[in-house]
Structure 1
Amino acid sequence: MKNEIVVLITGCSTGIGRELCSILFHKGCTVVATARNVETLKDLSASLRLPLDVTQKESINSTINEVVSKFHKIDILINNAGYSIRGALEEIDLNSAKSMFDVNVFGIINMIQAVIPEMRKKQFGKIINIGSISGKFVQSINGAYCASKFAVEALSDTLRLELHSYNIQSTVIEPGPMKTNFFKALVDNSGDVIKNENSCYSHFYKSDDEYRKKQKQADPKVAAQAISDIILKKRLNARYKVAVPFTYKMVTYFPDFLREYFMKKR
């Protein structure tokens, strides 16, 4: 068997995950594409397509066992699975928020707990966590999602401290808004809250809807190409901003009072 780079990617049904599969596959990597519904992967360029629910240990163990049995290693794990809900903290459905954290945060922990032992055996590995620019500063009615992406930042930093002696690297990718199904899914997941015209936060919901309609969104193919180049670097930096609008980049460097002023005006 060739000593190809084995890459396991979660959340490949749409968006960046799907584009990464195709790009890395055509770069010569052995790509394992996963999604909760494996049928969504049938036309995707990949070496192996498997069902995977990052919130279920049995599903994760089954996937990891099959990958290791077939390819004998996992060189790179890309934790891409994730989604968003919208709503003021006073109004969001807590069960929906917990479900989101199960995927966005605990799903990552589930995956690293399953994959790190395999990487340690080889004394090599890379863990790529797909965060968000929303993990760098908060926005009104987006607090729960931002909190989950702030957590991804912390998890990535912790991994670098804990795994450096095993030659296992970790980084977090911080993408800006993309032309994917992300925002449609967001509305589907949050409709009962953000469409409530009697809410005392309705002005936030309407403003957010108007903003998203005119917001510039990056091409996921271009973003995925940039991410693939990062992933294949010999040494990884702690974090990378990808396809982030200039204004948002600047906001991350503002002091707290100026950042809050800017976000209130937005």
Structure 2
Amino acid sequence: MKNEIVILITGCSTGIGRELCNILFDKGCIVVATARNVETLKDLPASLKLSIDVTQKESIQRAINQVVSKFHKIDILINNAGYSLRGALEEIDANSAKSMFDVNVFGIVNMIQAVVPEMRKKRCGKIINIGSISGKFVQSINGVYCASKFAVEALSDTLRLELHSYNIQTTVIEPGPMKTNFFKTLENNSVDLMENEKSCYSHFYKSDAQYRNKQKRTDSKAAAQAISDIILKKRLNARYKVAVPFTYGMVTYFPDFIREYLMKKR
């Protein structure tokens, strides 16, 4: 093995994770594609395909051991695994919210705890956390997902402080809405709650469904290309917005009262 870059990506069965595998493999990187069900990676170009459940430390450690045994290092970790569910805080199932946090937040913590010791041995590496523009401002009935992505922002900022002396860089990618299975999964996870006509929040649920039906979304391949270019930069900024509509980007800079006014009107 020459100086190929070894990149481990979680959540590669669909969406951005899958597109990143395609692009980074074509760029000559050693791509380790992972998903809970490795069968979903069957047709994906990758140097190694492994099963990882980011909520299970044993699953993670087995995979890391295989990667290090085969390639002797991990240069870049892309924490991409994650999903969403919708619902008003008063109504949302707390156990479902905890399960989502286990993947979106503690899954990242689990991956970091397994991979950073390997990076520290080489005194270099990059950790790329896939967050969301929803980690910068909240929307009605999207509170628990936004909270999980706010947490990703905090984890990323903390890592930069803790790992800079080991030359391990960290950034968070903040994508906007994209054409992936993300919203289909969201609907499947939230359908019972959001179709409840008797809910006192039914007007929020109907408005949200109408908004998502007409929402413009960026092509996932174009977004993945932009992310791949960021990942391979020599020096990383703290955060990057990708495929974010102009209005969303502007909202992140507004004072709280203006941002909340706009969200209430939406």
TM-score category by the smaller chain?
A: over 0.9
1:246 matched residue in structure 2 = 246
Shift of 1:2: 1.7
Q: Tell me how far apart the structure 2 counterparts of residues 127 and 23 of structure 1 sit (CA, whole Å).
A: 18
Shift of 1:227: 0.3
2:70 matched residue in structure 1 = 70
Q: Tell me how far apart the structure 1 counterparts of residues 111 and 103 of structure 2 sit (CA, whole Å).
A: 11
What SS is found at the alignment partner of 1:128?
strand
Shift of 1:191: 1.3
The reply on whether 1:113 has 2:113 as its aligned counterpart is: yes
1:52 matched residue in structure 2 = 52
Q: Tell me how far apart the structure 2 counterparts of residues 69 and 83 of structure 1 sit (CA, whole Å).
A: 31
Matched positions, count: 266
2:211 matched residue in structure 1 = 211
1:27 matched residue in structure 2 = 27
1:172 matched residue in structure 2 = 172
1:136 matched residue in structure 2 = 136
Q: Tell me how far apart the structure 2 counterparts of residues 189 and 44 of structure 1 sit (CA, whole Å).
A: 26
- Residue 78 of structure 1 aligns to which amino acid in structure 2? I
Q: Tell me how far apart the structure 1 counterparts of residues 80 and 215 of structure 2 sit (CA, whole Å).
A: 23
Q: Tell me how far apart the structure 2 counterparts of residues 214 and 30 of structure 1 sit (CA, whole Å).
A: 38
The reply on whether 1:258 has 2:265 as its aligned counterpart is: no
What SS is found at the alignment partner of 1:171?
strand
Q: Tell me how far apart the structure 2 counterparts of residues 197 and 173 of structure 1 sit (CA, whole Å).
A: 36
Q: List aligned pairs for 1:94-105, cutoff 5 A.
A: 94-105=94-105
Render the CA deviation track for 1:217-259: whole Å, top value 9, x for unaligned: 0101000000000000000000000000000000000000000
1:188 matched residue in structure 2 = 188
- Residue 257 of structure 1 aligns to which amino acid in structure 2? F
Q: Tell me how far apart the structure 1 counterparts of residues 221 and 232 of structure 2 sit (CA, whole Å).
A: 17
Render the CA deviation track for 1:106-137: whole Å, top value 9, x for unaligned: 00000000000000000000000000000000
Q: Tell me how far apart the structure 2 counterparts of residues 4 and 197 of structure 1 sit (CA, whole Å).
A: 55
Q: Tell me how far apart the structure 2 counterparts of residues 176 and 87 of structure 1 sit (CA, whole Å).
A: 20
1:161 matched residue in structure 2 = 161
1:42 matched residue in structure 2 = 42
Over the matched positions of the two proteins, sequence identity in percent amounts to 86
Q: Unaligned 5+ residue runs, structure 2?
A: none
